[in-house]
Structure 1
Amino acid sequence: MKILVTGNAGFIGFHTARRLLERGDSVVGFDSVNDYYDPAIKEARLAILEATAECCGSEYQLIRDNLAHQPAVSACFAQHAFDRVIHLAAQAGVRYSLENPHSYVESNVVAFTNVLEACRYAKVPHLTYASTSSVYGANTRMPFSEHDGANHPLQFYAATKKANEMMAHSYSHLFGLPTTGLRFFTVYGPWGRPDMALFKFTRNILAGEPIPVFNHGQHTRDFTYVDDIVEGVIRASDQIATPHPEWNSDAPDPATSNAPYRLFNIGNNDPVKLSAYIEALEEALGKPAIKQLLPLQPGDVPDTYADSSELEKAVDYKPATPVSQGVANFVAWYREFYGQ
């Protein structure tokens, strides 16, 4: 297939594009390669994608542009007939959304509108896009289920991703565009973003500097290894969304529709305390952390826990990489990449 992967210089986008190239798909990447974090890591990822395409004999092209630039998106779709679109580009980060909300409007709302419009007119067979567990916000019933409402996000980042889900549904309803939204739960692993906790913790522990441990390490996260995320993304993309035959407008299920629309959680279904996550990192590094215990930050939620049963039912896959193995894999990559 010919597949557009947006955000392919980013963490999850890179891993997804590489897996697609390895299985022989033709991939067009679309990424602005901005400086939200160190562009050197993004360039290194892109170099690997070039090498992977050459090694596997797969077609690969990178478009360096901003998805918020509508003419560039239109030109991309005019040049290529895509069998699938996997939209992973976004302005990520919960805390940064408190500082620069306009960036989230441009990258998560305007850009997604351009992608939806392009998919609509090109009659793309299936659009799969990234959402986030953060949309559950003030929800406290665990584990989080796609069938529960998610109408009280606690950060602007989450609000923009919830908006993406609603925007996708409108296009599925109005234009018959099949869409699948994937709510990612705390993704980690090799080639992760430098603004993420695992990256920061590793850097500080190796440097002998303290690490900030919010909520005194007592909150839990459903940490999900990046390879598990990618497997779920690709399987969901391969299977085109269809209308749910039993959808009832009198008792509407938020996860499905009478339009070709669906939502899935992708999580490890095994929440781990932040303190235990740090212990796994200390074990992998062979060095103890200097912990600076702090209260819960504004916008943070105390716990996340994914019910991934719908994903498993639909695509016959369930994330299962244990945190100890995933953290060790990240540390091995970090040491190699930074020569430590």
Structure 2
Amino acid sequence: MKNILQGKELGFGAAPLGNMFRSITDEEALATVDAAWEQGIRHFDTAPIYGAGLAEIRLGEILSKRPRDEYVLATKVGRVILDELEDPASRDLGERSGLFKYGRKNKIEIDYSEDGTLRSIEQSLKRLQTDRLDIVYVHDIAQDIYGDEWVSKFESARTGAFRALDRLRDEGVIKAWGLGVNLVEPIEIALDLDDAKPDAFLLAGRYSLLDHDRALQRLMPKAAKENVDIIVGAPYSSGVLVGGAHFEYQKASPEIVAKVDRIKTIADRHNISVKAAALQFVLANPAVASVIPGASRPARIAEDVAAMNEVIPPAFWQEIREQNLVAQNAPLPK
């Protein structure tokens, strides 16, 4: 798997292209993807749920004009987008409410079965205007909003989507598959499966400067030992690390804001950006193959690239460690 993402440590997370949190124009979305390409980014990650297919449509509009062999394209299964629209008078807008309320109004059907997986892939190929996918993740089988229900969703995916993706990989239809989740536990379980062997995992929000303790306990060491890639999503913790108001897709608590302020104070003292610290911290872990921050403005892409190349003095990391702002066993950039 590592050869797929080699040289693509900085990727592009396309969730904002689905009008996450705010509505953006097609022109702004397409300019952002263009900027990512011009900055040398060749790893693009999306999903059907991002704006009920809107992110895939926008991403495909640009990438279809680029040489297909030059980039890695990842999407997800577990959601089938229906032609039927939501009733705008309904209070229950399903999974379109909240994060993607500004996206397309199509109904979204949760489906982790083999048939649903194949339908989802077929739809994604059309929206992305491509004939193949490199990585396919089983999306959101574990979210905090499900509580204990995630175990039953995992089992449904194990007997449906997992087996379908395992077969598609073996047949050469896709290059790799895994889980795209925001909890550590389902990845740990998947690593121990005998009847399915994922190649990579997209872990969103659980390995960042603000939240990494649980992942360090077992997941990261086991993934590195078994040569299974971890791709980190949401490295800025939904934006709060870089001036935003959200943490874990919700308004950040006073405690989180205070922790960010402490990190920023130390960063300012060493004349570095928190964005650089956030990205370089994630990539310092040997299990991490790539990090995929999201962006909805072209200027943000240049900032991400600059942050990757920013020189951070060892004294910054030493102070962060001494102030107990990172775990004592967390790998730090050298």
If the TM-score is normalised by the length of the shorter chain, which range does it land in?
A: 0.3 to 0.5
TM-score, normalised with respect to structure 2: 0.38
TM-score between both structures, scaled by the size of structure 1: 0.38
